[in-house]
Chains A and B, each alone.
Chain A
Amino acid sequence: MSSEAIKHGHAVAEVHSHDAHDSHGHDHHHEESFLTKYIFSTDHKMIGKQFLITGIIWAIIGGLFSVLFRLQLGYPEMSFPFLEDLFGKWAAGGRISNDFYYALVTMHGTILVFFVLTAGLSGTFANILIPLQVGARDMASGFLNMLSYWFFFLASVVMFASLFIQTGPASGGWTIYPPLSALGQASEGSKLGMDFWLISMALFIVSSLLGGLNYISTILNLRTKGMSMTRLPLTIWAIFFTAVLGVLSFPVLLSGAVLLLFDRNLGTSFYLSDIVVKGEILPNEGGSAILFQHLFWFLGHPEVYIILLPAMGMVSEILSVNSRKPIFGYLAMVGSLFAICILAFLVWAHHMFVTGLNPFLGAFFVLLTLLIAIPSAIKVFNWLTTIWRGNIRFTPAMLFAIGFVSLFISGGLTGIFLGNSTLDIHLHDTYFVVAHFHIVMGVASFFGMFAGVYHWFPKMYGRYLNNTMAYIHFWVTMAGSYLIFWPMHYSGLAGMPRRYTDWSNWQSFNQFADMNRFISTVAMVVFAVQLLFVFNFFYSIFKGRKVKSQNPWGANTLEWTTPINPGHGNWPGDIPEVHRWAYDYGKDGREFIPQTEPVGEHESKH
């Protein structure tokens, strides 16, 4: 793309060329082998790409799973012989078996929540953007950063392997509540597949901790001269809070997972008590199944913000750059991120209103949960004000950023229903919940991720993605997301429970066959369009149009002061010094003023 390139690029290149040329002599260049450059790389940019591409592969698998179970939900009467060819006993007669259905649902959730939207999203953009935007040569520890990817890779291998074992992968839902997940007798998926799931998650948590600690220390310690915390772009603030959330909450999930492994394999009773399963009386007494839910959701809830915050940060940045206007209320944006980060730790039990939780305790969780709506509202209104009276360029990234805001509003508002315990009694575990979290956490975060990929692809690969495919990708995905998830609210309001493979035997829930067929059909179209994006991505890495200017979007942040294809170390000469915040767009009649430009004598104050 890049008419922008023509409009703004040269100007910037001129502004900075003298910085870049000054110190060419210091450019230390060392030869890298294929192995050190592409595989065991310690360069944050390469590690970010590794996270991204692994995430894309997982997204295809996780998305494909949803297409498969949507086939069952949309066309319960039909049989698809090709399924039997592919999956054998799991789809005997061309119909997806119950065990297979639950395995697909569970893996879809696990893969997309953890492997795609946590590792693939914050792993990618934290790695690529932190050093580039704070002005550092690399992460605080390149080696730990490399280990972070490789632990993620190991976790991926274990999870992927679990898809192929005889009794199938975990199938108790992505929340893996015991006793179901603790007892092999209770479900096929709770046999070996569950151990794989837990081991994979343990490795994943190690990866996330190594990454998170690195992100935090880099942001706190390696900012370039002049880059005070209040001059950081909002992307970095968002990633910072994300990392803090991850570092403080993932270990709790690890403890939950380890205790579950003990219950499964060592005969302990942390979560088990008074159980008779398939006629067999188990000796375990004194454990609490609810304890696991507390441990799980203590991560599980921050996890949704771990997914969402980086998307919010990137959207803030992209909306501002492409509106050619400063982000409105920078400090309020940082403050609301902070508020969300704190509140994220204090609301976990709103997932447990109907577990028999003490109602008095529940009341506090209602209050704290609905408090999150305030920082969320601030963010939405600030985004709206940012584009108000701007001069908007609809780059593909900008389209996805606007789409993000729309989805965040829609999905956020239904959260006000579910966070209110009175309504949760009715709506808990219905399709209303499915619609809510898919829109606000799933699709919205995906939009943030797409926005990020479209915006920083030129920095990552020195080439552009194809614009026409990007527009098709956006509009079909945008329309498709609403077409899939909007009607689901209605089935939720009919009380239709989630995780049902078939509703035909129910008087109360069998009235939505047409809707389900429609949703499944749209889901397939949307999935096909995501493949178009994947194709565009890989094609453009090699064949996309080359980026010709250093700063194709006319942005203020530091990553656009590096060469078009930066080497390890990012800046060939000295790291530039920062003199102002990242959002001087449209100031004093100038379209944009990069952070590296000293504040002029006559510049207006704000």
Chain B
Amino acid sequence: MSGYFILAILTLAFVVTFQIAKASEYVSVLKGEEKAFRQNNRINAFLFIVFLVLGLIGAWWCNELFYQKTLLAQPAASDHGEKIDFMLWITFAVTGLVFFITQILLFWFAYKYQYSEKREVFFFPHNNKLELIWTVVPAIFLTVLVGFGLFYWFKITGDAPKDAQVVEITGKQFNWMMRYPGKDNVLGRKNYRLTDASNGNALGVDWEDEASHDDIEATEMHLVVDKPVQLVINAQDVIHDVGLVHFRLKMDAVPGIPTTLWFTPKYTTAQMKEITGNKDFVYEISCDQMCGSGHYSMRGVIVVETQAEYDAWMASKKPQYAVVKEAAQPESKP
């Protein structure tokens, strides 16, 4: 019912607008087009200044409303994230300056140089010095941005430290699976043709490889604070993406092409609860690459904790090989 009501109002608004528009055309003919043109021109020129002023106020207000809700308001939870945040602020400074200067000039010029019968336009087809200035100055700014950007880029994408903890994360529609290498710190070999979720081998691990016998599988990722971690990222069906917003990192999970990502978590989950003032805070893994109808629900959780807590959690876990063997036992000797 309210739908029809809204539709009726819209139609009415349409008709009214049209009638006014039509009438104003007749009025401008009657009044003399020259006069109507000047009047419209003044109104539009004035509106540009109004737009500029309201726009600047709006930008400030929008910032008031939303700044606290963004990640800018909280520290990055990884060392790499801190570099990215710093880079973000440099870029804000440079682009912000250009933004305000050019937008203000644009709207101010539009207002200032609105049509006037008296104005002589300035015939100014080119000026090499000006062109040179606004080629060279942006080039200098960009060199700075590229320089900083690549410096951090190579730090972030560089090799992980030797002592980094290795965790494998595999995406499939629509959840994440983790695997830890166990005591030998080596992940067992995989072959996707061995994948058999109903028999405890959802990841397609090759049990022939003895390195796999102490591997531990989990649905939640546990990490030790201040200890570097290297993620080995896989996907089983389509492309997914390991999105780690609080660490400011992300890496695609591509079927057939393992990728890696490393970082050092700086705060435990408990510390982040305090920092953000949100008692329900959790580190979330979001899928950031369109992966099908459940894409929006492909959520994983990371728990960052102290070494002691981590060890206790690890101790509660049984290697997947043992789990599979136990399940197979009753069948083999009836």
Contact = CB atoms under 8 A, between A and B. Distances in A.
Contact of A606 (B107, B123, B288): B123
Interface residues of A, number: 140
A426 B86 CA distance: 12
Interface stretch (B129-137, B207-215, B321-329): B129-137
Contacts of B59: 486
A164 interface: no
Contacts of B115: 391-394
B102 A384 contact: yes
Interface in B157-203: 157-158, 172-173, 192-193, 195, 197
Contact of A585 (B121, B152, B281): B121
A487 interface: yes
Contacts of A507: 278, 280-282, 284
A323 B47 CA distance: 17
How many of chain B's residues touch chain A, expressed as a range? Answer: 35 or more
A99 B284 CA distance: 24
A403 B324 CA distance: 65
Q: Could you say which of B24, B142, B297 has the most chain A C-beta atoms within 10 Å of its C-beta?
A: B142
A506 interface: yes
Interface string B221-235: 000000000000000
Contact of A288 (B107, B157, B248, B257): B257
Contacts of A565: none
A387 B113 contact: yes
A380 B130 CA distance: 13
Given A3-B34, A289-B239, A391-B119, A275 B295 contact: no
Interface in A389-432: 389-394, 399, 402, 405-406, 409-410, 413-414, 416-417, 420-423, 425-426, 428-430
Nearest to A492: B70
Majority secondary structure, B binding face? helix
B279 to A, nearest CB: 11
A394 B153 contact: no
Given A6-B33, A330-B125, A535 B250 contact: no
Given A82-B3, A413-B99, A324 B47 contact: no
B280 to A, nearest CB: 6
B241 interface: yes
B238 A180 contact: yes
B41 interface: yes
A392 B125 contact: no
Interface of A: 1-7, 80-82, 98-99, 102, 171-173, 177-180, 183, 186-188, 272-279, 281, 285, 287-290, 323-332, 354-356, 359, 362-363, 366-367, 370-371, 373-374, 377-378, 380-382, 384-385, 387-394, 399, 402, 405-406, 409-410, 413-414, 416-417, 420-423, 425-426, 428-430, 466-469, 471-472, 475, 478-479, 482-483, 486-487, 490-491, 493-495, 497, 499-503, 505-509, 511-512, 515, 528, 531-532, 535-536, 539, 545, 583, 585-589, 606
Identify the 9 closest CB pairs spanning chains A and B, nearest first. Answer: A3-B37, A273-B256, A495-B245, A356-B259, A586-B121, A500-B296, A359-B157, A394-B44, A468-B21
Interface of B: 3, 10, 14, 17-18, 20-22, 24-25, 28, 33-34, 36-38, 40-41, 44-45, 47-48, 51, 55, 58-59, 62-63, 65-67, 69-72, 81, 83-84, 87-88, 91, 94-95, 98-99, 102-103, 105-107, 109-110, 113-116, 119-127, 130-131, 134-135, 138-139, 142, 145-146, 148-150, 152-154, 156-158, 172-173, 192-193, 195, 197, 204, 236-239, 241, 243, 245-246, 248-252, 254-257, 259-260, 278, 280-282, 284, 286-297, 299
15 contacts: A180-B239, A186-B173, A274-B256, A276-B195, A277-B173, A328-B127, A356-B259, A420-B145, A422-B150, A426-B249, A466-B25, A478-B51, A490-B67, A497-B243, A507-B280
